[in-house]
Structure formats: C-alpha cells, structure tokens
A and B are shown apart, each in its own frame.
Chain A
Amino acid sequence: MGTPLTANSVLVEAPPLAERSRSKVGAVWKTFLSSRYGPIGLTLLLIVLIPAILAPLLAPADPFDLGAKPFLHPGADGHPLGTDHLGRDVLSQILYGARISLLVGLVAAGIAAVIGLVVGSVSGFFGGWIDIVLSRVTDMFLIIPTFFLIIIVVATLGNGIIYVMVLIGLTSWPGNARLMRAQALTLRERTFVQALNALGEGKLRILMRHIIPNGIQPVIANSTLLIAAGVLTEAALSFLGLGDANKASWGRMIYEGRTSILTAWWPSIFPGIAMIITVMAFYLIGDGLAYVLSPKSRRAGG
C-alpha cells in the first residue's frame, strides 16, 4: 500500500456514478423502448409537448382574442375546434393551456422531488430519532386531505400560478420521501458507503454525492406520475375558478364551457381530451421507467 488510502482511491475501484451512468444511458434507453408502455407514453408526450412549444406559430388566433362569433362549430371560419361563449378560438386556448399545464406539472413535481429526496435520504441515512420524526411527518402528510388544503390556502392567500405550483409541490412529496428512505436504508449498508464512512468523509457529502445520486431512480419514475397528478390538480383548481385567471387553462375552459355544454359541447370537451392525452403520457412513461428499474427487465436486458 504505497499511496495513502483516500476517499478518492476507494472510488477508483468503484467507478464514480457519473461515468457508470453515462455508459448505462444507452442500455436504459433501450430497455425503456422495449417496455410495453414507455414508447406509447413518449409518443403521446411529444404530441402534447411539440405543439405547446410551438403554440405561437400553430395557434390560429390569440387565445384571448374576442374577435370571432361565439359558439362557432368546429371547423367553421378558420377555427378548427370552434369558438367558446366569448368567441375565443378553442384550439388556440388548448395550445396555450398546454404550456400552463406542463409548467405546473413539472414545477410541482420538481418541488416534490427535491423535498422527497432530502427528507427521505436524511431519514434513511441518519436513522434514529431523526428517522422516527421524519417518518411520522411523512405519514401525516400522506393522510391529510391535500386537495382541500390547497383549495383553502388558495382561497385565503390568492391564486397566482406560483402559489398553485408551489402548493401542489409542497403537498405531494410524501411518496417520494418513502421511496428515497427505502433506498437510503439499503445504500448506507453498502461497502462503498461504509468505506467512505470509515475514511471520515463528511456525512453531508456522502448524502449529497453518493446516497441521493445512487438512489434517485425510483423517485424519478414516481415523479412522472406526480407530473400527471399535478396537471390534474391544476385543472381541478381551475375548474373551481381557483386557478390563475390570467393564464389560459384547460380546467378553466371546462369550467366556463360547462354551463352551455348542452348547446355547445366543444369548448369543454376538447380541453378534456387534451388533458387525458397529457396525463396518460406521463403515466405510461412512469410505468416504462418502472419497468426499466424492475428486476424483470434487468434479467432480460442486462
């Protein structure tokens, strides 16, 4: 043993995660594409995502423009999906609404991922009373009726899009925390973590550089489900008139179209279909990712 044993020399034997994962990305991608639902989900996501990005180019009209006649049938007068009760173009509203739905879903799931990763990994890695307290808190958040909590907070404090995103994120992390805790519990017993511990590597450093990066996969799979849930929650809030009034939103389109649904179905039915496609895309991708992580696919793909 010529050179002094350092944390780095241990890691040379177990290649750093970044390198291993780079060589693994191709394999993961192949397994994902070989799953039954992953590719369908990805296709559906592209069907929603590309038009959302290109909304200004694709939209036949400004989504808030009241210029056209109200309740034009789909296909009439340059309005492929018709117009609503105020003469706004339904297709344009759906395209811009997709941006809001995706934004809310992604930001909310991102917040939930960060909180879940931190709470779960600290809980599992440190154990003891920290674990007991954090697990109890997680269980509590799992039980409380979160949607009503969001409704109450939005009704009391205001309904800006930021509030909505943050609130959904703040109430949807417990699942992530549980997954990450389970990961941290097994990871902390692994040899390379034990070695780092023995070498006096800082606890926080081990947590951030090794526990979280190596245990993050189930949280990523779960996050795609949370994006879907976030999209649905935002729509439900908007449907109650509690969404951001200044943004095009699928939920609000359904809400505004519902009173006239018996005479004109299109302003409220089309945004619902867009929502189903979006939500389904994320559920399918989530299951595709879960397949990648399952032992079944590892046996098959390597």
Chain B
Amino acid sequence: MGSYIGRQLLTIIPTVLLSIVVNFALLHAAPGDPARIYAGMDTATEEQIAAMREDLGLDDPLLVQFVNYVEQLLHGNLGMSLAFRQPVYDLIMERLPATLLLTVTSAVIAFVCGTLLGAVAARKQDSATDIGLSFLNYVFFSIPAFWLGLLLILVFASKLGWFPTSGMRTARADYTGLRDWLDVAHHMVLPSMTLILVQVPIFYRITRSSVAQQQREDYVTTFRATGIPEGRIFRRYALRNAILPTVTVFGLNLGYVVTGAALVEIIFAWPGIGRLALDAVYKRDYPLLLGVYLMLAVSISLAILLTDVVYALLDPRIRLR
C-alpha cells in the first residue's frame, strides 16, 4: 500500500511542479513587467517600480528568480492581490468554504444519483426506462451549466419565487445558528441543483456501461448456472465490481466540477473561489489569478491521489500488482 501511494505521488509531484512552472512563466509573460503589476499597475511611480524590482529580485537571473518563487510558495506566500490589497492566500482561504460546500455537496449527490440511475438502466437494458434515461442523459450532458443555471433562476426563482435568485445568505438578516444554516441551504438549492444535473450524466454513463459489462462476465454466467437469484448476483457481485470505475471518474470529475462551479458561482453570485478567480480576470489581478490556479492544481492533484487510494482500498487486486 505504501509503495502504491509512493508511485502515485511520483505522478502528482511533477504535475504540481508543472503548474508552478506554468504559473511562473505566465507571470512573466503577462503584459507589462511583474514589478509594475505588483507595484500597482499605472499608479506606481518610477521609484516605486525600481524599489519593487529590487524587492522582487527581478534583476536576478531567471533561474534564481524561479527558486525564490518556489521558496515563497512553500511558505504559503502567494503574493499580494492588486485589486483587494490583501495577501492572495488569505483571500483564497476566506472563499474556500463556500466553494467546498457547493462542489462537494453537488458532487456527492450527483455521484449517488448517477450511479443508481445507471445501475437501474443497465439492469433493464433496452427497456423503455433505459432508453428514456439514456436520452435524458444525453440532453443534460449537452447543457452548459451556466445556461442551465439561468434557466433555473428564470423558472424557480423569478416565475415561481420558490428560491432566492442569488447570494449565499439573506442580506441584512443576520441569522444565527440553525436559522442561518437553513438560510444557506435555501440559497444553495438552485446552484447545487445546476451542478448536480450536469454531473449526473457523467456517473450515469460510466455506471451503465460498467454494470452492463460486468453482467456479461463469465462469473455471472456461472452464478446463474448455479441458480443464485438474479437480484442477488446483481446486488452482491455485478454492482460492487461495477462501482470501481465510477470512483476514478469521481476523482477526475473534480476538476470539471470546480470549473463548472466557477461559472455557476457567477450566475448565482455565490461568494466562492470561482467568482474570486473571475473577478481577478476582469480586474487583471494576475497574482490573485495565478494563486487561485495554483491552489486548484494542487488540490485537484491531491483529490485524485486520494481517490486512487480509495480505489486501491476497495480493490485488492490493485495493491497486489
């Protein structure tokens, strides 16, 4: 198990390093020199910029700069945001809980729903249920999350008035305790619904094909021949084996969730990382933008590592290999 995790880390570390290199390169490729960017764009005087150059070590050779950059990162220093005038690290940590709440909730619910629906469809292949579910799956697979969010606002917030149109809490209500939780939950229904609906097809698709494949395996035929009831074969054996690939997809899907969540956060004015990143795009706040990107790359890598470990725990064959 230890060596297995070790091998996985060998893939993760270069990926994180690559992200850092890309980040570093982009910081230097951004229009204007980094000193001007860090000193505050156009408002900085020449002396300030010169001081900043010195301060940031921009006159050093590129390799020295890169080593310094990595050292800074290891201390959790992602630079200062230009637009917010705060450390990037603090800004990210402040927004992280809202994004995690939205993405993790929707990913887990989508995982459960998609897997169940996929199993149902595979169990009754080519039935009306299967064809109907598969058709819906194609439709929701094709819907852009941001457009679906708008549609849900239009119908459930504007026309029916069931849910608030945007935000995470009712403004100026200052609820506390349980009331506050319920308020957040109420605000969360539409954005998480959007993310769930676009993610369900991913899990549906993989589960359906994986269960269908398991049911064609020789061991299932053997079980049938020995007279084990069909339902029992399905629940105890075929489904369990078929779940494995969906776990991997859950990990790979996380990158997609964060992306989708960013757009959905904008539509619903949800105060998370995605919205922070896009604010940074509009304000050309490069340190903030790159900080968010690096944070995403690292956390997605870690999430994938974690799912790989879970996978190995579920499937002993992988550990033995």
Contact = CB atoms under 8 A, between A and B. Distances in A.
B121 to A, nearest CB: 13
Contacts of B18: 140, 144
Contact of A232 (B12, B29, B30, B144): B144
B267 A145 contact: no
A245 interface: no
Greatest chain B CB density within 10 A among A143, A228, A241 is at: A143
A284 B31 CA distance: 42
Contact of A236 (B30, B142, B146, B304): B146
A8 B142 CA distance: 47
Interface residues of B, number: 48
B154 A262 contact: yes
Contact of A280 (B12, B142, B150, B266): B142
Contacts of A284: 138
A275 B147 contact: yes
A283 B138 contact: yes
Contacts of A275: 142, 144, 147
B153 interface: yes
Chain A, interface size: which category?
35 or more
B26 interface: yes
A268 B150 contact: yes
Contacts of A136: 11, 14
A157 interface: yes
Contacts of B258: 145, 148
Contact of A147 (B14, B29, B259, B304): B259
Nearest to B251: A143
A159 to B, nearest CB: 11
Contacts of A146: 255
A221 to B, nearest CB: 14
Contacts of B147: 254, 268, 272, 275
A112 interface: no
Contacts of B153: 261
A276 interface: yes
A151 B297 CA distance: 14
A242 interface: yes
Contacts of A10: none
Interface string A271-286: 0100111011001100
A262 B138 contact: no
Contact of A145 (B151, B278, B297): B297
B284 interface: yes
Contacts of B11: 136, 139-140, 143
A14 interface: no
Interface of B: 11-12, 14-15, 18-19, 22, 26, 29-31, 131, 138-139, 141-144, 146-147, 150-151, 153-154, 158, 252, 255, 258-259, 262-263, 266-267, 277-278, 281-282, 284, 286, 289-290, 292-293, 296-297, 300-301, 304
Given A143-B304, A156-B29, A236-B144, 16 more contacts: A140-B14, A140-B15, A140-B18, A143-B12, A143-B255, A144-B297, A151-B277, A151-B278, A151-B281, A155-B284, A156-B31, A251-B144, A254-B147, A262-B158, A280-B141, A283-B141
